Structure formats: C-alpha cells, structure tokens
C-alpha cells in the first residue's frame, strides 16, 4: 500500500491550503491507500476528519494521526503516537529534542527527523542539538529520506545517513498546496489499518520503500538567496515561541499531558476487517 507520510491540511496547519477531505480525494485518485496527517504542532486536520468524515466516507482509505513537531533545538520532528494516546504537549511547540524523545517513547510512540538535511534551524542535521551530540541519531526510530519539497541531493544525503544508522526511511510530499499533493510516497504493508500497526512495522524493521518526484514551486525556490532570511526567521520564531509556549505548557501540564482516547472494540475490528 502506498501512503503519504508527510501531509499538511488547511484545518491543522496555518500555512496549509488543502482541506483534508480534498487531500484524501486527490490521494485516492492517484492510487494512494492512506495518509499520515502531520500538521504543524496540531492535530487539527486529524480531528476534523475524525469528527466530520470518519465512518461516513472513504472507508477504503487509511487516515493516520501524526504531527510535525517544532523542537527548540532540533528542527522539525515527525511524531506518531498509538491511536489511543494523544499527548497535549505536542500541540505546544518548543520542547528540546532530548526531552521529547523519552516522552514519546514512554507512551509507545515513535519519531524521526523530517527533511533532516534541509534548511538550517528547520532540519535536524543542521541544528544545534546535532552539533552538540550527533549520537542523538541513534535514538530516532526512522528518518524521512524523501521529501518532495527538498532537492534530490538533500534527499540522497538523508538516505545515506539513514542507511548508516540503520533507520527505516520514509517518504512524504510535505504538501501545503494542491499541486504538491501525492508527489511522494512510502510503500507499507497492506495490513496497516491504524497507528499501532505502522509503529509495530517500523519498530521491527520492516523494509519500507520511499520515493517520488521533486516539487520545484516551493516558497524557498521562488525567493532564491533570500531563503537564508527565511531560515533565520524560523530560528527567531521558534525561540520566542518556545518562551511564550512554556507558560501555556505549564498550565496544561496541571491537567496532565496525556489524553487516552477511547477506541471501541467494534471500530478496531472493523478496521482490521477492511
């Protein structure tokens, strides 16, 4: 089964332009069997699907819950939690990566760098955390080795690093606009129907195939040399945001930072049957 493991929706990402239902239709029309919703620090797109679409339409299409988390010091990290776990703190960006990793693992989740060799500050291999401690790579569970919005040489470098560290490679379009949807894929086993299935396959080392076509109409391609300003702006945004989010995060932690989501047995049986 072919799925897109890096998707941004209008309902969940401030820069997303494609509503999740349109995203699903477009992927289905291109032969995809599923998607991992990875909005920026938000489960908004997944929530919209679960509340308004799930069980009513597209029951032959697998929608999985993920997130693209903005760390304080390691760029963007893709996080996948089991279907019955939602960590509130993942919707409040700015946690250092060495704090994020054990929290995610403790609750049965997995994580890996998005576009790891891309722009400075937004990508792990060019971030402070990697400079301080390269061995953090060994603590990840996978790595995005094909991102449609990155040049081929950047993806090739990511694939080389993943192979060196024995990390499964994933592929995702990183689409924010309709003309990028479906430009990257990950081939996964057909028996994947929920987040736990995907986590299990990645943790046991199931070989995944990732690939696609490079998208050349990204903002950074259009602005050329000015993209350096864009990447430094992200650093400022994350630093200031990290401080401002700390207060909100502390308030949320008083309520507990984990929410267990009830998944009824009939629903799980139906997923497996389909």
HEC string of the chain equals CEEEEEECCCCCCCCCCCCHHHHHHHHHHCCCCEEEECCECCCHHHHHHHHHCCCCCCCCCEEEEEEEEECCCCCEEEEECCCCEEEHHHHCCCCCHHHHHHHHHHCCCEEEECCCCCCCCCCHHHCHHHHHCHHHHHHCCCEEEEECCCCHHHHHHHHHHHHHHCCCEEEECCECCHHHCCCEEEECCCCCCCHHHHHHHHHCCCCCEEEECCCCCCHHHHHHHHHHHHHHHHHHHHHHHHHHHHHHHHHHHCCCCEEECCCCHHHHHHHHHC
Q: What is the structure's pLDDT at 265?
A: 46
Superfamily of domain 2-273: Metal-dependent hydrolases (3.20.20.140)
Smallest CA-to-CA distance from 162 within 192, 201, 124, 194 is with 124
**What's the average model confidence in pLDDT over 157-164?**
97
* Domain edges within the chain: 2-273
- Say what the pLDDT of residue 267 is: 56
Mean pLDDT computed over 198-218: 95
Q: What is the pLDDT of residue 218?
A: 77
pLDDT surpasses 70 at 201: yes
The model carries a pTM of 0.86
List pLDDT tens digits, range 83-113: 999 898 999 999 999 999 999 999 999 999 9
Give yes or no for residue 219 having a pLDDT over 90.
no
At 20-57, the pLDDT tens digits run: 999 999 999 999 999 999 999 999 999 999 999 999 99
Kindly indicate the confidence band of residue 225, based on its pLDDT and cuts at 50, 70 and 90: low
Q: What is the reported pLDDT for 263?
A: 61
Q: Mean of the per-residue pLDDT values for the chain?
A: 87
Query: What are the tens digits of pLDDT across the range 236-274?
Result: 555 555 445 445 545 554 455 566 666 654 455 454 454
């Amino acid at each position: 089964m072919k799925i897109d493991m890096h998707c941004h929706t209008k309902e969940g990402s401030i820069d997303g332009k494609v509503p999740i239902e349109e995203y699903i239709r477009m992927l289905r029309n291109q032969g995809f069997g599923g998607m991992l919703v990875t909005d920026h620090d938000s489960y908004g797109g997944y929530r919209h699907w679960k509340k308004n679409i799930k069980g009513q339409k597209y029951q032959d299409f697998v929608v999985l819950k993920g997130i693209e988390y903005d760390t304080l010091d390691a760029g963007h990290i893709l996080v996948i939690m089991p279907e019955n776990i939602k960590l509130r703190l993942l919707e409040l960006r700015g946690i250092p990566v060495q704090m994020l990793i054990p929290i995610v693992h403790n609750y049965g989740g997995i994580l890996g760098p998005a576009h790891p060799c891309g722009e400075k500050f937004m990508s792990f291999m060019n971030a402070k955390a990697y400079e301080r401690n390269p061995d953090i790579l060994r603590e990840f569970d996978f790595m995005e080795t094909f991102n449609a919005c990155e040049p081929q040489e950047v993806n090739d470098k990511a694939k080389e690093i993943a192979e060196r560290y024995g990390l499964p490679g994933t592929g995702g379009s990183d689409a924010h606009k309709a003309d990028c949807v479906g430009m990257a894929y990950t081939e996964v086993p057909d028996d994947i129907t929920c987040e736990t299935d995907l986590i299990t396959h990645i943790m046991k080392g199931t070989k995944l195939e990732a690939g696609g076509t490079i998208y050349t109409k990204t903002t950074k391609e259009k602005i050329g040399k000015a993209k350096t300003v864009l990447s430094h702006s992200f650093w400022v945004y994350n630093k200031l945001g990290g401080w401002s989010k700390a207060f909100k995060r502390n308030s949320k932690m008083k309520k507990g930072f984990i929410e267990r989501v009830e998944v009824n047995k009939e629903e799980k049986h139906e997923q497996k049957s389909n």
